[in-house]
Structure 1
Amino acid sequence: MQLNKLLGDDEAVSPVIGVILMVAITVILAAVIGTFVLGLGDQVQDTSPTASFTFDYDQSDGADSFGSGNTAGDGLLTITHDGGDSIEAQNLFITGSSNTASDKVEVAADSSADPQYSGSDELSAGSQVTVRISNSDTVRVVFEASGGDSTSTLGKFEGPNA
């Protein structure tokens, strides 16, 4: 047997590479189809927005964005969207809790006063919402995906006496 002839024989290289490529394409295609069949593809699309918020508490008189007036021990909390993704108002909630109660307010809530934002409005950098809180409240800005199947807290504020 001649060693030179064995090393120089490359007649079967092309068919082997072709088979390897076909198997790789089949495996990748099966993985992509499998993620959507099992429902994992939908979960990838339902991600929470990335946004930052600042909070400015002022114990003063005045009405908030929802028409609430001042009561003893209350103050105004101005929540400002500082940057990041724009968020539809209908998916954004302000939740608050004090020693006595828990509340959830939709930013686009219909109330006796005209809401500052309607459901399809987008809150982007610079957008503000003012809410009336007690100085012992803890307030969170919460994103809730359409359909309500997932939520995430985007910001948190604790009152001076919380």
Structure 2
Amino acid sequence: MHTGALDSGDRGASPVVGIILLVAITVILASVVGTYAFGSGGQVPGEPPQTSFSFDYDEQTNLTISHNGGENLDNDTIEVRIDRTEAYPEPDTAATNITDASGWSTPISSGDDLELYNDSGEPIAKGGDTVRIVWLDPSGGASNTLDEDEWPN
């Protein structure tokens, strides 16, 4: 029976096990905090969605914007602007002559169309004006232009 002091070879096991446990606890805590901060996957806050649009002009009184593909969009986060003037969802009638903007609802998905038109025949915009689809970050961050096109002459 061995009653003497411990061998010097047994002394290093405790510190190594302790370090491994501390590293494991740190990794688990970082994972929990990361999941809580960024949700359980999904979109990173502030990143605009990846989408594709097309613009179809009918003379100068009508414009159809089609969502051709990519991520679905929340209607509350989208604006259409013609040379920095809001044309959708709340058109500035005096500046754009838009009498109706209809067609998009939530979610805006591939194949959905938005029609901007003027019943009076007045032009909505002038040739060379820029039409922009703008995404408004729901977390209050910056807005981003998803797509843009130039109004034909």
Q: Normalization by structure 2: what TM-score?
A: 0.63
Return the letter of the residue paired with 1:128: D
Cα 1:147/1:137, change in 2 over 3 Å: same
Distance 2:148 2:127 in 1: 14
Alignment correspondent of 1:126: 111
Q: Structure 1: state its 5+ residue gaps.
A: 1-8, 60-73
Distance 1:141 1:148 in 2: 17
What is the percent sequence identity of the aligned residues? 24
Alignment correspondent of 1:104: 86
Alignment: residue pair count: 130
Distance 1:15 1:106 in 2: 67
Alignment correspondent of 1:58: 58
CA contact 1:77–1:133 (8 Å) conserved in 2: no
Return the letter of the residue paired with 1:103: T
SS of the aligned residue for 1:90 comes to: helix
Distance 1:78 1:93 in 2: 14
Shift of 1:140: 0.7
Alignment correspondent of 2:18: 19
Q: Normalization by structure 1: what TM-score?
A: 0.60
Cα 1:16/1:140, change in 2 over 3 Å: same
Alignment correspondent of 2:47: 47
CA RMSD of aligned residues (A): 3.6
Cα 1:139/1:20, change in 2 over 3 Å: same
Distance 1:148 1:136 in 2: 31
Aligned counterparts, 1:1-162, within 5 A? 11=10, 15-29=14-28, 31=30, 41=38, 44-59=44-59, 74-97=60-83, 102-107=84-89, 109=90, 115-118=102-105, 121-131=106-116, 132-146=124-138, 148-161=140-153
Distance 1:137 1:41 in 2: 39
Distance 2:57 2:15 in 1: 70
Cα 1:90/1:105, change in 2 over 3 Å: farther
Distance 1:88 1:24 in 2: 41
Distance 1:114 1:152 in 2: 21
Shift of 1:123: 0.7
